[in-house]
Amino acid sequence: MSKFLPKLTITTALVATLAMPAFAEKLGLGRAALPEEIAAWNHDISPNGEGLPVGSGSVEDGEMIFSENCAVCHGEFAEGVDNWPKLAGGDGTLADKDPLKTIGSYWPYLSTVYDYVRRSMPFGAAQTMSDDDVYAITAYLLYSNYLVDDDFVLSNENFLEVEMPNAGGFIVDDRPETEYTIFTEENACYENCKDTVEITRRATVLDVTPEEEGTETVTEAAVVVEEAVEEPVDTPAVEEAAQEPVEAPAEEAPVVAAMSVDPELAAQGEKVFKKCAACHQVGEGAKNRTGPVLNGVIGATIAHVGDFKYSKDFTAAHDEGFIWTIENLTEYLHKPKAMFPKTKMSFAGLKKDEEIAAVIEYLKSASQ
């Protein structure tokens, strides 16, 4: 009779039979799985650390591994690309109407981070990284969320010492009158459960679906944006801001023009700038993205791009006349949050002095 069954069905049936010790023993097929064979498939890691492999990984190594394996979807700094998930940021947003739930703002257990990366990442090549690589990536994700310092090394020995910000934000609801009784066959509702069904929000507005030009959803989202932009135009604050004198680019140009540029160092800086390109653009035709255009930034007053909304830190520094000198920019690129704690930039900073010098040289060349 088996000759009439598809080969896949026969294979599936055999695998299922061999996987069941009772049937295997009864039929004389197969054997009980060895402990090491079970361990090869059992990757569960509990919040108490049970199941963690022996190993370690540093933030420094994690940055490189993350850049090579994860950044294409999650961004160089875990800020997310397009609609791929953001893994950093969102601190203090859980009470907002539109909270950003990330590893740093929402996840209660570090074991979930390690377990998921080890089991499912990188996309399309799951379970190809070593345990040490996973420790390193986990350490870098902690660093990206400002939970550890840049010299931190994560291991199975100090794993439970890491405190997740939202660890106390969850409770166990084990009451018998809650979920598992609601979804029984007797109580569940499968049709006509509500009198009316209304669409309250669109996926595009929620930023969970890639936008395609020409679709109805995008059009509606655009209307929402236009209304939001038009509303404050008539307010005195905006009118007053519009009347304020705008710094003439010509005043800043001589500062940049007077600087000599090392072409070789600038070329190196262009490569390093790829870490910045997810948020910033430079050169002809550059536009504001998540971050402002960086043309002419060397020697300019902070927050000098008129059509970009800066953080309060930046606007306050602008009012005080803070200038992006090479010294100030060097300090900022080393650790942005140390100079401006409320900066919107999620970038953790460049660790190597030579990379900072190269990027600055590239910005000088792109500004001329």
Of residues 15 and 184, more confidence is placed in 184
On the question of pLDDT at 53 being above 90, the answer is yes
pLDDT of residue 141: 97
Is 232 among the domain residues? yes
Is 73 among the domain residues? yes
On the question of pLDDT at 262 being above 50, the answer is yes
Angle at 191 between CA 189 and CA 195, to 5 degrees: 100
User: Cα–Cα distance between 152 and 140 in angstroms, integer?
Assistant: 9
Instruction: Retrieve residue 325's tokens.
Output: 């000198």
pTM (2 d.p.): 0.47
User: Cα–Cα distance between 177 and 179 in angstroms, integer?
Assistant: 7
Is 39 among the domain residues? no
> Which are the contacts of 365, defined by CB distance < 8 A and separation ≥ 6?
261, 263, 266, 269
Query: Do 347 and 279 contact (CB within 8 A), yes or no?
Result: yes
Task: Identify the weakest region by mean pLDDT among 66-70, 72-76, 169-173, 235-239.
Answer: 235-239
**Are 128 and 94 in the same domain?**
yes
pLDDT of residue 367: 65
On the question of pLDDT at 29 being above 50, the answer is yes
**Residues of the domain holding 217:** 191-244
Task: Tell me the average pLDDT across 288-314.
Answer: 86
DSSP states of 185-240 as a string?
A: TTT---SS-SS-------TTTTT-S---TT-HHHHHHHHHHHHHHHGGGGSHHHHH
> Which are the contacts of 355, defined by CB distance < 8 A and separation ≥ 6?
272
On the question of pLDDT at 100 being above 80, the answer is yes
Of residues 83 and 56, more confidence is placed in 56
**Are 144 and 226 in the same domain?**
no
Is 167 among the domain residues? no
pLDDT of residue 72: 87
For position 339, which CATH number holds?
A: 1.10.760.10
Instruction: Retrieve residue 236's tokens.
Output: 């005195």
pLDDT in tens, 222-249: 333 333 334 444 444 434 444 444 444 4
On the question of pLDDT at 295 being above 60, the answer is yes
Structural domain count of the chain? 4
Q: C-alpha distances in angstroms, 247 versus 257, 289, 304, 350? A: 17, 21, 8, 30
Task: Tell me the average pLDDT across 279-290.
Answer: 83
Rama region for 77: left / alpha / beta (φ>0; ψ in -120 to 50; rest): alpha
